[in-house]
Structure 1
């Protein structure tokens, strides 16, 4: 839509599982990418420290440019290349993320926008999706204990719908220490997105973070 051209004050929430299937199929069918499901078993290096081969548990050996794109540990950039992280805990004192999920059918009214609500010692996101509704709480490490964080998000969910089945709630406590890799590109290994920041491989922090 022309009226939204070059404006970045909005965003979209997608089902990550469905989006990954769409991207995989497009890459394979339209771009000729070879899709392979396998586990990494060994990383081989040259005398100069470059990654020369990745050995997989299906017997395949891959070589070339390595992109470290997933896992909190940063498999290539962190574990293999040994690039340390710079911690931002002092200026970003978060302790946990607690994403509860409920089927959308039990929640009224439905929401089309992401709502952010300030709490005593942090804030809560309220995220409306097509099939469910999710939320996150970002408590400050110095003010909220883990139990208090869980309690605050459950109290908030009560306002979604009095008929919510508490047994359906999946509240996961995700420890969170903001950080980034000190180097995003080392020899032939590049950290992209979550692989390097945010306690993962280059980095992403949410907009409200």
Structure 2
């Protein structure tokens, strides 16, 4: 049987993630993969942080984690510190991994609520191993921690140079047989049914293929310009539509977390790499012009800037159909959600995962392929909506009213799905059952708690636990983490020993 030819248009992080995953899965099958990118077209390239599922993606490719981190100038990420989101002067931490352990089969959060009602149970984040490590700038891989140490339930992700990630994945993919063509697409040719059949390149070359993956960024060269897949705009919920990106010199120690500081019209990120700092201001240009945003970001820099500020414009939302005909859009061509929780690269790998699960081939009819596409689009919409709601949560619960931007955020209409979730939590600290969701209960708890939202009561089942027993158990758990963290190396020492970058 003739094997299909897959063509990926666009490189960058999204293109080379797709090429790496496909060539890894198709290895030895005879399926051809071609990636077309132009050295003359720059990528957005500001995705400098990911979330824990990316570590699984790298491991599944068989890539050595420590070597990869050194090559991409990576640092470790135990979570995100949010400053001034609920009120000016207040901060909270969204950690990766668990928040406490269940006690006698009872949910930990409700045990903590009961203990807090009856005495001093400490802060909820006192039971997060990732938060305890992050607060002291320490790091060690949780999966290498001793069982029952208290730290084995933490999790982590990475900060890195996105350009170096694309470079490393390109080496990986080309070594496995991906054919790269350095050119621009001059024309996309479709047939009478609307399917893409051929690409005419600016060097005169014609490329025929069976399936196409659009990784052309905001241009959406295939999915938008050729196939006109409509875009669903979510700006009413997430009004930020601009970003200033600016790299600066690295100074001081390296915190193992991202910082997101709320500002007058949005928020500023700070991402520590081994050789530099990544900085940016995400804002709504209805409340702040570009020059004002640049000035605001420059006053927040730690270390000298390494280049001129870059202005990036975007619209929050997604394609109604990221898989249309024989084209699948990945990354920015398929949709965009602001980088508040570093989900952009996750949505690329998730899209690749769905594609591999629903893989079309040349034996299927057009009608059968349409069924696969409908299921793909349903799953991707579910992921985007979940992440959208989680991002809105950070804004809508604010008590800030000091600027027009924050006044808008606290009064905007919410999606029904998010309204129902918040109402359920406020009633008695419960959240909907987890399905195939990215953000688990502990992720939602961290943000809800950090934004000052507390339920009216705890679950009555926890009343079966004697108060003194509960208080003693919680005190022991806190003490175990506070004592154990002292034996963990600093983040900088761990990097220096195991994954030092030549750029650092």
Shorter-normalised TM range: 0.7 to 0.9
Are the equivalent residues in 1 in contact too, given 2:322–2:328 (CA < 8 A)?
yes
1:68 aligns with 2:201: no
Question: 1:88 offset after TM fit, Å?
Answer: 1.5
Matched, 1:195 2:328: no
1:201 matched residue in structure 2 = none
The separation in 1 between residues aligned to 2:241 and 2:198, in whole angstroms, is: 37
Asked whether 1:50 is paired with 2:190, we answer: no
1:149 equivalent among 293, 296, 307: 293
Tell me if the contact between 1:40 and 1:57 (Cα under 8 Å) persists in the aligned partners.
yes
Displacement of 1:147 in angstroms is 2.8
Corresponding residue to 1:12 among 155, 158, 165? 158
Structure 2 matches for 1:88-107, cutoff 5 A? 88-104=234-250, 107=251
What TM-score does the superposition give when structure 2 sets the normalisation length?
A: 0.36
The 5-angstrom pairing of residues 59-138 of structure 1 reads 59-104=205-250, 107-138=251-282
Cross-structure match for 1:206: 339
Separation in structure 1 between the aligned mates of residue 249 and residue 307 of structure 2, nearest angstrom: 9
User: 2:171 — aligned with what?
Assistant: 25
Tell me, what secondary structure is at the counterpart of 2:181? coil
**If each structure's helix is expressed as a fraction of its own residues, which one has the higher value?**
2
Cα distance between partner residues in 1 of 2:314 and 2:266: 14
Q: Paired residue for 1:3?
A: 143
Please identify, of 83-92 and 140-149, the stretch whose mean Cα deviation from structure 2 is larger: 140-149
**Residues 10/170 of structure 1: CA separation in 2 closer, same or farther (3 Å cut):** farther
Q: Deviations over 1:104-123 (max 9, x none)?
A: 2xx33444421122223322
TM-score (norm 1): 0.81
Q: How far does residue 94 in structure 1 lie from its aligned partner after superposition?
A: 0.8
Which residue among 313, 324, 332 is the counterpart of 1:186?
324
In structure 2, distance between residues paired with 1:66 and 1:8? 39
Find the aligned partners of 1:191 and 1:178 in 2 and give their Cα distance: 16
Give unmatched runs, 5+ long, in structure 1: 199-203
Aligned-residue Cα RMSD (Å) equals: 2.5
- 1:205: Cα distance to partner? 4.0
Specify whether residues 169 and 23 from structure 1 end up closer, same or farther in structure 2 by C-alpha distance, changes over 3 A only: closer
Rounded Cα–Cα distance in structure 2 between residues aligned with 1:120 and 1:49: 46
| Contact 1:84-1:181 within 8 A present in 2 as well | yes
Contact 1:24–1:35 (CA under 8 A) maintained in structure 2:
no
Deviations 1:74-116 (A, max 9, x none): 1100011011212122111113211111132xx3344442112
Check the 8 A contact 2:198/2:206 in 1, yes or no. no
1:62: Cα distance to partner? 2.3
Greater alpha carbon shift after TM alignment, 145-154 vs 177-186: 145-154
Structure 2 Cα separation of the partners of residues 61 and 143 of structure 1? 46
Counterpart Cα distance in 1 of 2:154 and 2:314: 27
Question: Does 2:311 correspond to 1:173?
Answer: yes
8 Å CA contact 1:95–1:138 kept in 2: the answer is: yes
Unmatched tracts of structure 2, length 5 or more: 1-140, 145-152, 342-390, 392-504
Q: Check whether the contact 1:54–1:61 (CA below 8 A) recurs between aligned residues.
A: yes
**3-state SS of 1:32 partner:** coil
Secondary structure, aligned partner of 1:36: strand
